[in-house]
Amino acid sequence: MTKLIPALAYGLLLSLSLSGKARAGDLPEWLTGEWIQQRADRWAEEVWTLPRGGTMIGVGRNGRGESQLGWEVLRLVRAADGTLTLHAAPEGGEPTMFALVEQGVRDISFANRDHDYPQRIRYWREGRLLMAETSKMDGTETQSWTYAPAGD
């Protein structure tokens, strides 16, 4: 009986983790890595650290050919109350905060309706690919990225 209880507990935890729901406040470890999108001579890259200390740090840059056109520093922060916030600082400016609005096992969405653009930011995984999308709150002005792991 004593061996059965750990096995049952493990099975319950495994079934909960596979149910399609992430626990609120979980940092999206599936975002970790170095990601690149290449479309003709245009490119975009993002790099995300492993979750540690309630934070993930990301950096991104984009360009054309050998010219960099823009860059950004991102932070995913878990507050003491467990809520997640995305802090985005393009070109090293003051960060804009986006609150978590939806989180699944391999997708996460943030929003800030008071920001000019973007107002919504979403990341999700499709197999080995990382997908990203920004838009207005109503879904207009959508921009999307399909990142593959760098080095592929």
Going from N- to C-terminal start, the domains of the chain cover 22-149
Q: Model's pTM, two decimal places?
A: 0.83
Q: Which residue has the higher pLDDT, 116 or 13?
A: 116
32-71 pLDDT, tens per residue? Answer: 999 999 999 999 999 999 999 999 999 999 999 999 999 9
The predicted model gives 128-148 an average pLDDT of 98
Domain 22-149 has CATH 2.40.128.20: yes
Residue 73 or 23, more confident: 73
26: closest CA among 76, 98, 73?
A: 76
Dihedral of CA 84/60/118/108: which sign? negative
CA separation for the pair 125, 114 (Å, rounded): 27
- Which amino acid belongs to residue 87? H
* Res. 96: pLDDT tops 50: yes
DSSP state letter for 23: P
Mean pLDDT of 90-98: 95
